[in-house]
Amino acid sequence: MTAVLPEAFDRRFVVVSGKGGVGKSTLAAAIGMAAASAGRRTCIVQLNTRDAIGRMFLGTQTVGYEPTRLDARLPLWSVNLRPDEALREYSLMKLRFKTLHKIVFENEVMRRMLRMVPGVTETLLLGKAWFMEAMERDDAGQPRWDVLVIDAPSTGHGISLLRLPEVLLSVVPVGPMADDARQMRALLVDPARTAFHIATLPAELPVNEALDLAREARASIGIPTGWMIANQVLPDALSEPTRARMDALKPSDALVAQALDNGHAWIERRARQQAQLARLRQHSPLPVIEVPHRLGPIDVAATRWLAEAMVAQALATPLSPPRGATATGGPR
């Protein structure tokens, strides 16, 4: 893989969001692979979710709260942040003493109160991710991570997560927590440190959600946006002469007839995808890159292949908004 890393994959805080089921975690893993292959010390950050990264890279081994190395040949790690562990770490930093932490946070009354406060879980997870970017240092005093790839929650939950610092400041405008919230907000809106990529599929509903998410991220949060990443794009596997020959055939054999039906289904599905990609390019406020469809399981080899495809597309696609992008999603 090339050592050249596209600029919006080379930020310290790279956020990937999108509708559930579009391959968001796979694309986050591919961006992490690309960054690590370019020599960046990289951590893929999962937020209190079913571990997808461990299955891709390690088989049966799961990723937990502490960084797990994914590849001995690359500077690539992953974590899966949990709110209870993040609360413990945060409170110990603020309260300093384990005994006081137990008195304040490890009694059942306080646990119930915390569960009742909206946004506490998400605040703890975002706060831990911010701490990894801003505060964690190695033995030489240098930042521990060059790139953090945040596998953010799906669409609406992802936007809510990114709004949390502003919401927290509106409720608690002063004090240590407010100071931390200001620093989190400063990270999220800093184009030198942060980029926000949106994953989608070339299908109507995912494209609708992706367009809505792109506009909301830019307008209501001000987070620096990167690429709209269209995943699982079918290649043009059948040439025009081949299609013409298929249309002319009148097979009597059932297997040949089935093969022709499958071929026509592929052509029709790809045509529908291309129509949605055209709509995405026309209306997206973000430049669009395409990731080709890959058959088979998503393992280390597949992730590397996807990373190479994404890097090639991103290097060829400038980050300036596409000409003629509109403020509406167009006909649905």
Per-residue pLDDT tens digits for 58-71: 987 889 999 999 99
**Taking the C-alpha atoms of 210, 212, 218 and 219 in order, what is their torsion angle to the nearest 10 degrees?**
180
pTM: 0.85
Residue 233: name the closest of 286, 284, 290 by CA. 290
How big, in percent rounded to 5, are the helix, strand and coil portions of the chain?
A: 50, 15, 35
- 193's CB contacts (< 8 A; 6+ apart) are 11, 12, 13, 133, 187
List the domains of the chain with CATH numbers.
7-235+276-315 (3.40.50.300)
* 17 phi and psi angles, rounded to 5 deg: -135, 175
Residue 332: the pLDDT is 46
Give one DSSP letter per residue of 220-261, joined into a string: II-PPEEEEEEEEEPP--S-HHHHHHHHH----SHHHHHHHH
Which token pair is 178?
A: 């407010």
C-alpha radius of gyration, the chain, whole number:
22
* Run of H or E residues at 272: helix 254-283
Which token pair is 98?
A: 């384990």
Residue 37: name the closest of 78, 88, 1 by CA. 1
The crossing angle, in degrees rounded to 10, of helices 83-95 and 98-105 is 130
Residue 245: the pLDDT is 62
Residue 88: the pLDDT is 74
CB 136 within 8 A of CB 143: yes
Q: Where are the beta strands (DSSP E) in the chain?
A: 13-18, 42-47, 68-71, 76-81, 147-151, 194-200, 225-233, 288-292
Stretches in the chain below the pLDDT threshold 70: 1-2, 91-120, 155-156, 237-257, 260-261, 263, 320-332
